[in-house]
Amino acid sequence: MLLRARKRVAAVVAMGIDRALEVASMFDDAAQALDVDMAGLLAELQPMSTPLDQYAALIAKIRAAQQAVRYAAPTEVWTGLLLVDTSPLKTSLGARADHMVEALLNQLLSKSVEAYQHICARCEAISNEVMAVAQDTPGVLGIKEKLGSGEAEVEQLKGMANAAKDRDMFRLAYRHAESLDQSFAQLAFDAQNWPRDMLLVFSTAWEKVEAEYTHFQGALKRKRETLRKELKEVAVLVEAYKDVVDASELVGELAKELEPYASLWQVVSEYALRSEDWLYGNMQGLNPEEVEELTGEWYKRMQRLAKSMQLAEHRRLAEESRVKLEGFKALLPIISAVCNPGMRGRHWDALSKV
């Protein structure tokens, strides 16, 4: 009888264990669906270009597993020997699902914060660059170049702001608590407004840069006229010394000694003004043959003066001018091509985009 009782008890226990394992197996599919390496998954989703549809599919899968856990088995299951309470397992798996969804939504939040901070920083930097006051004609041209690249970049930033807004609406649909954070809301507001504000910035900057260009062109013209007067005065002095050669051998020698200095000053001064006009002024009416002839003549004079001037500092100045002229001569083919009468409006449009 005792042996029979032991066998019966063993059978009941075995049946209870089998039933308990059977209850646990009811949660296998959901548990496997939630058994995900979240660190690896988040790393895979990290690129800004990851579509929201991919997040939506993952969250739907997680929520489906969470729902399956809820209805996989009753909260209490009688195994024939034991009363199994499944609520701790349900709670644990449900919390796991909530944590996974929260991690995905938090990643979307981080992407939006990163995008908004970048938009604000770049718009502020571009605004400061294009509204800077130019100091000369090259400075004006530099700001014009920044205006062109800045307008193109702001268009890209608009797309970034729209993508961040879509992420925010996605999170809001899932009642993500961080969507209501005040500091984040202010950051998002600033970033969404910056690209619109840049329209006024660019408009103002273009007006400013055109006014500055006109101002520097006028100043350059006045400098050129002043230089011409001074050159004429120097030429008169040199000729005056030459005219009195017969009157005195000493004066003749003085005029001869003065001529290299006058020549050096003339070339250095005239090149400084004319090169700026050639490079940054109006190309219409510019004669490339005249430019080539003048620079060739100046180059030969500086080459000669760099060897013949008495003082070292004068020879150094002549040599520095010769090097500058040599560099400028490399640009002559470009000047000749730009001044070609065959240039049309479409050619200038193409050049402006280079």
Instruction: For residue 53, tell me if it sits in a domain.
Output: yes
| 179 shares its domain with 248 | no
Q: What is the pLDDT of residue 205?
A: 92
Q: Which residue has the higher pLDDT, 208 or 9?
A: 208
Phi and psi torsions of 284, nearest 5°: -70, 135
Q: How far is CA 306 from CA 234, 262, 292, 299, 300, in A?
A: 21, 14, 21, 10, 10
Question: How many domains is the chain partitioned into structurally?
Answer: 2
Instruction: For residue 150, tell me if it sits in a domain.
Output: yes
| 128 shares its domain with 276 | no
Q: What is the pLDDT of residue 241?
A: 59
Give mean pLDDT, residues 212-219. Answer: 81
| 176 shares its domain with 251 | no
| 269 shares its domain with 180 | no
Instruction: For residue 218, tell me if it sits in a domain.
Output: no
Whole-number average pLDDT of the chain:
77
In angstroms, how far is CA 147 from the centroid of its own chain? Answer: 12
Q: What is the pLDDT of residue 113?
A: 94
Range of the domain at 17: 2-184
Give mean pLDDT, residues 223-242. Answer: 70
CB atoms within 10 A of CB 209: 22
Give the whole-angstrom CA distance, residue 90 versus residue 71. Answer: 9
Residue 38 has pLDDT above 80, yes or no: yes
Q: What is the pLDDT of residue 44?
A: 93
Q: In this predicted structure, which of 16-30, 99-113, 215-229, 296-310 has the lowest mean pLDDT?
A: 16-30
CB 267 within 8 A of CB 275: no
Length of the chain: 354
Instruction: For residue 78, tell me if it sits in a domain.
Output: yes
Q: Which residue has the higher pLDDT, 54 or 91?
A: 54
Q: Per-residue confidence at 110, pLDDT binned at 50, 70, 90?
A: very high
**Token pair of 4 as six digits:** 């029979």
Q: Per-residue confidence at 105, pLDDT binned at 50, 70, 90?
A: very high
Looking at 164, 184, 204, the residue that finishes a domain is 184
Give the whole-angstrom CA distance, residue 88 versus residue 23. Answer: 13
Q: What is the pLDDT of residue 172?
A: 87
| 167 shares its domain with 49 | yes
**Over pLDDT 70: what percentage of the chain?**
71
| 179 shares its domain with 250 | no
Residue 127 has pLDDT above 60, yes or no: yes
Q: What is the pLDDT of residue 149?
A: 92
Instruction: For residue 235, tell me if it sits in a domain.
Output: no
Looking at 159, 184, 209, the residue that finishes a domain is 184
Give mean pLDDT, residues 293-315. Answer: 82
In angstroms, how far is CA 184 from the centroid of its own chain? Answer: 24
**Over pLDDT 90: what percentage of the chain?**
27
CB 66 within 8 A of CB 91: no
Residue indicated by tokens 């039933």: 19
Q: In this predicted structure, which of 46-60, 100-114, 296-310 has the lowest mean pLDDT?
A: 296-310
| 10 shares its domain with 153 | yes
Phi and psi torsions of 8, nearest 5°: -65, -40
Residue indicated by tokens 């901070």: 117
| 29 shares its domain with 135 | yes
| 168 shares its domain with 59 | yes
Instruction: For residue 328, tell me if it sits in a domain.
Output: yes
Strand partners for 76: 85
Number of H helices, E strands in the chain: 12, 2
Q: How far is CA 16 from CA 4, 5, 76, 86, 90, in A?
A: 18, 16, 14, 15, 21
CB atoms within 10 A of CB 138: 13
Instruction: For residue 115, tell me if it sits in a domain.
Output: yes
- Name 7's Cβ contacts closer than 8 Å, sequence gap at least 6: none
pTM of the model: 0.61
Q: What is the pLDDT of residues 3-33, one digit of tens each?
A: 554 545 444 444 445 444 444 555 566 667 7
| 111 shares its domain with 7 | yes
Looking at 184, 211, 235, the residue that finishes a domain is 184
| 167 shares its domain with 275 | no
| 23 shares its domain with 133 | yes
Instruction: For residue 148, tell me if it sits in a domain.
Output: yes
